[in-house]
Structure 1
Amino acid sequence: MHAVVCRDARFRVTEQTVPRPATGQVLITVLRCGICGSDLHARNHCDDMAELAAETGYDGFMRPAQDVVLGHEFCGEIAEYGPGCRKRWPVGTRVVALPLLRNGSGVELIGLSAAAPGGYAEQVIVQESLTMPVPNGLSPDLAAMTEPFAVAWHAVRRGQVGTRQPAIVVGCGPIGLAVIGMLKASGVRTVVASDFSPQRRALATQCGADIVVDPATESAWTAYRRPNEIRRVDEVLRLGVDTMDKLRRVPNMPWWKIFRLAELVGATPTGPAIFECVGVPGIIDQIVAAAPVRSRVIVVGVCMQTDQFRPAAAINKELDLRFAMGYDPGEFRDALHLIADGKVDPSPLITGTVGLGGVENAFAALANPEHHAKILIDPTSPTIAVPAVPLQHPRL
């Protein structure tokens, strides 16, 4: 079979032996594989990523001198079962799978480890227990978007966003756009999207954002209506004194019970849910400085550099700071079915498709946010070049 191998940040298409599935594993023929932002980082900065992964308990991350087949956002068809499988679905069934592979006593990250080749290939090995059939005749293009939308769904769930609570998405790259889609799918009424790129702002609108702003000319923090929102600490102080003045005027009023009741029914002031989807130094501090009081900040963008923010500013506003990473199998299934049921539409993100020979060009194109959001790989396609301007195609 053919596969794209990355070594020392260079790509080459190679001929490889078809892998044989081990116990509990399945060989699938790749129909589509998405190029993820993690792939872009791993190509040039895998040593940094490997060191960080080792610090947190995973030492199998790819290294520059290794031959690695990238790709963890894939859809394919079952080609062969390994021994010990339950063979839940017929050969030829269209499936997606969580990109984790058992290797001896450990588990490897498919597409980000030399021990678990990924989907930039004609075929890939996955775990049967982590494989899921694609429902409703969903196209391979959209099914391949399950993995990034599962990341977004996990972030939205981590944010615990109420339907009436505004959500602000800072950064409209692929994950930011997926977060927008998942926020709307979960019923959030007001989603504000902020990005410097005109192309990405246009995609944010297509993904369902209610308000889209250019941070160079407009503030996301004032672009939406929130009459009861408290933006400054002095407003908190004034509210506390004014409330107590009113409560003390009422005779025999157990004012402390009124306070606790207000908490129970959600009447106490809260800020928006803010999703940081940029992943560069300084963004968290900017959000902390600008966010209204009692906002919840969910960090989804992966910043590989050392960053800093002022904890005292976050303390003064009582901000919640949460970090989101990956997803669980239930969220992966949720994402697949939300897409298949038409409740979220990933198609605006898909701006190009190439064959295995076009991976190098696709990586170069993805460096410009004005040109592309998500490029898919079709291993059977002869396409090498990607257009400079994304196509405005209909729903797939």
Structure 2
Amino acid sequence: MSEMNAVRFHGQKDIRLDKIPVPSVKPGQVKIAPKFCGICGSDLHEYLGGANLIPQQGHPHPITGETLPLTLGHEFSGIVEEIGPGVEHIRPGDRVCVQPIIYDDSCRACKRGLVNCCDKNGFVGLSGWGGGLSEHMVVPASCVKPLPDNISLEVGALIEPLAVGWHAVDISPYKDGDAALVLGGGPIGLAVVQALVGKGCKNIIVSEVSGKRREFAKQFGAHHVIDPVKSDMVEEVEKLTNDEGADVAFDAAGVQIAVDTAFKAIKARGTLVNIAVWEKRATLNMNDVTFRERRYLGIATYSLGDFEAVIKAISSGAMKPEGMITKVIKLDRVAEEGFKALIEDKENQVKILVDVGAGI
């Protein structure tokens, strides 16, 4: 049996470049050679403190049946190598990206089309079915999204995090003319900024403590940036919204102080949208919510159609995410040059891509 290289998670701060069997294709599946794969914040959380999302020995994922060690990588693009019987919308040689949600298609949420809210949900690259940090991988054909000729494979690897931002804006009550506040200028906060730009927002305000990330926010279309350490964020937002407050805010920071101030920075009947995955329990001042009839809305990744919407926005020029790529490394340098950079030099990094196709 032929073997391939794959970066696999074995445990906390333990990822290895392993030799594993090349997977074979079954009916309804597609075999892909990953070319570029982004390192996500969730990958970093698993590396530093996991396994959390990744299923551990004795507790296999309910859909994949797999446990660690697992191949990492859920933000990736690649080339179709082989298709199984019954696959019609793509062909070998096509350039594609992968929507990595794993869902059972039978729970109450899935029956409503809300596959991102599946009772048993998981992700390619975190729950099994291989991952983008490998030389070959196989997924169901429904996960595979063709890329137009004017979207590079490098940008194709950005579509997954951009889809998170797009989904957050899409299901929020944002409408034309609204002022939007974004908390956090990391990759997901910047994805929200670009989604707002793609939807024509004319007043995007970003609150971020890092000067470099405030620069990135401006680069990607934010109209105003605030340093919440040096300025009173609530006062600044009021100044920028004619003393009304933001119509909608997006929390991509996941820290308590951001939530506390965000509720005061949005107007009556405004909405705070939570995108962040919290490491510990948050608290809410319910009177800040109740007496001004504010709303708190959670979003989970992306849903059906969001990948296609982002692909269309990039292809049309409404979104221009190329500048998100701040570093490109090889497959055998993921720990040393990928995770290490995100830990020690995070304010200068937005998205680190692994050039899987370059070999080792």
TM bucket, shorter chain? 0.7 to 0.9
8 A Cα contact 2:54 2:126, kept in partner: no
Which one-letter code corresponds to 1:111 in the other structure? G
2:272 corresponds to 1:297: yes
Cα deviation 1:269-327 (Å, max 9, x = unaligned): xx421111101344322322443332210111111211112112211221111011111
Provide the rounded CA distance (Å) in 2 between the counterparts of 1:302 and 1:14. 29
8 A Cα contact 1:280 1:305, kept in partner: no
Which one-letter code corresponds to 1:93 in the other structure? D
2:329 corresponds to 1:380: no
Task: Map 1:359-378; keep pairs closer than 5 Å.
Answer: 359-361=334-336, 362-367=338-343, 368-378=345-355
Q: Which residue of 1 aligns with 2:76?
A: 74
Q: Displacement of 1:382 after TM fit?
A: 6.0
Cα deviation 1:18-52 (Å, max 9, x = unaligned): 1112221100011111111111112233444469x
Cα deviation 1:309-365 (Å, max 9, x = unaligned): 211221122111101111112111101121122211112211001111111021111
Task: Map 1:74-223; keep pairs closer than 5 Å.
Answer: 74-82=76-84, 84-100=85-101, 108-113=122-127, 115-221=128-234, 222-223=236-237
Which one-letter code corresponds to 1:227 in the other structure? N
Provide the rounded CA distance (Å) in 2 between the counterparts of 1:273 and 1:209. 15
- Consecutive unaligned residues in structure 2, runs of 5 or more: 56-60, 107-119
Provide the rounded CA distance (Å) in 2 between the counterparts of 1:378 and 1:366. 17
Cα deviation 1:125-161 (Å, max 9, x = unaligned): 1211231210133111111111111111000012221
Q: Which residue of 2 aligns with 1:253?
A: none
8 A Cα contact 1:61 1:112, kept in partner: no
Provide the rounded CA distance (Å) in 1 between the counterparts of 2:207 and 2:102. 37
Q: Which residue of 1 aligns with 2:113?
A: none
* Count of equivalent residues: 334
Q: Given the two structures, how large is their TM-score scaled by the length of structure 2? A: 0.86
Q: Which residue of 2 aligns with 1:21?
A: 25
1:43 to 39, 44, 47: 47
2:326 corresponds to 1:351: yes
Which one-letter code corresponds to 2:41 in the other structure? G
8 A Cα contact 1:102 1:127, kept in partner: no
Which one-letter code corresponds to 1:70 in the other structure? L
What is the aligned-residue identity percentage? 31
Q: Displacement of 1:225 after TM fit?
A: 3.4
Structure 1 residues 172 and 107 mapped into 2: Cα distance closer, same or farther (>3 Å)? closer
Cα deviation 1:174-227 (Å, max 9, x = unaligned): 000010010011011100111010110111011100111211222443245333
Q: Displacement of 1:380 after TM fit?
A: 3.1
2:8 corresponds to 1:5: yes
1:275 to 217, 240, 250: 250
Which of structures 1 and 2 has the bigger CA Rg? 1
Provide the rounded CA distance (Å) in 2 between the counterparts of 1:382 and 1:212. 40
Provide the rounded CA distance (Å) in 2 between the counterparts of 1:372 and 1:341. 26
Identify, as 1 or 2, the structure richer in strand.
2
Q: What is the root-mean-square deviation of aligned Cα atoms in Å?
A: 2.5
Provide the rounded CA distance (Å) in 2 between the counterparts of 1:376 and 1:91. 24
8 A Cα contact 1:71 1:110, kept in partner: yes
